[in-house]
A = this chain, B = another copy of it.
């Protein structure tokens, strides 16, 4: 079973992955903010017992994970950085292929996430609701007939659904279209932000596009809206990349990016994202004969914590840069 981040899916030239997150709270317990470590444990045990009839999920006590292991999960967007940084009493349910993760007692009692390669909103939503159904049959969720699901933060009230797609938008970034795009999608109830580091030009031109509205909308309508806008962005970005690649200087930087991965002895995380961005354009536009799933894989496996976690030993920043260069050479050499 190949993890979603080792694959490329539908619209994989632009869309790296899809994520659906459902928030749920147990009616009989206060929100996590009002719970202590013992409360966390109780909630976690109840949820885990409901799901762990088979062995589809691994129950992970966050305190037992090394910091690189925990931060690697955050790099894969399986957990939030806050969850990685505050492991006390908290637990995670993780499916074997890492496509489903359930943070227990993060901001809400249950934060159920489903991840998929490429653009797969309906599929991911369906999978999320299948798991939610198992839980719903045994547990009573905090729910208001008028509002919908109750969540600790009011921004999630209602559907308690956050759907997002990770996009690679180098052409729109180059053409300085991201700010305009952010204003447009805000009017349509969406938000876009850098996937790796915030700022105006996020590293590697990777962005998260997600829905913001959870009240007065059905989950299906929310993802339809997100999907329609995503497809428009994909078309703009593809046209932009095609235009970019007509330029000899851009072609040169793309081929050089490959040369650098095949030869460098030190690659920082920041440079890695930049050069991977160039390789993605080259692969998407048929200039480079590199499968997109290889590039998806490298994007995750060369991130600092994931690199360290896979190495089973502490690494200095320089040792990480050496190892990153070595793995890239082996994979792209």
Contacts and interface: CB of A to CB of B under 8 A. Distances in A.
Contacts of A325: 252
A265 B251 CA distance: 7
Interface stretch (A27-35, A198-206, A255-263, A289-297): A255-263
A194 B256 CA distance: 29
Contacts of A265: 248, 251-252, 255
A203 B248 CA distance: 25
A139 B252 CA distance: 57
Interface in A232-284: 248-249, 251-252, 255-256, 258-266
Contacts of A252: 264-266, 325
A318 B249 CA distance: 10
A142 interface: no
- Tell which of A249, A260, A262, A265 has the most Cβ of chain B within 10 Å: A265
A315 interface: no
Contacts of A318: 248
B264 A249 contact: no
A258 to B, nearest CB: 5
A215 interface: no
A74 interface: no
A220 to B, nearest CB: 47
A322 interface: yes
Contact of A266 (B249, B258, B266): B249
Nearest to A322: B248
Interface string A20-31: 000000000000
B263 A248 contact: no
Nearest to A250: B265
A264 B259 CA distance: 8
A108 to B, nearest CB: 46
A44 B256 CA distance: 50
A255 B263 contact: yes
Contacts of A322: 248
Interface string A306-333: 0000000000001000100100000000
Contacts of A266: 248-249, 252
A328 B264 CA distance: 18
Interface of A: 248-249, 251-252, 255-256, 258-266, 318, 322, 325
Given A251-B265, A259-B259, 5 more contacts: A252-B265, A252-B325, A255-B263, A256-B259, A256-B264
23 contacts: A248-B265, A248-B318, A249-B266, A251-B265, A252-B265, A252-B266, A252-B325, A255-B263, A255-B264, A255-B265, A256-B259, A256-B260, A256-B263, A256-B264, A258-B263, A259-B259, A259-B260, A259-B261, A259-B262, A259-B263, A260-B260, A260-B263, A262-B262
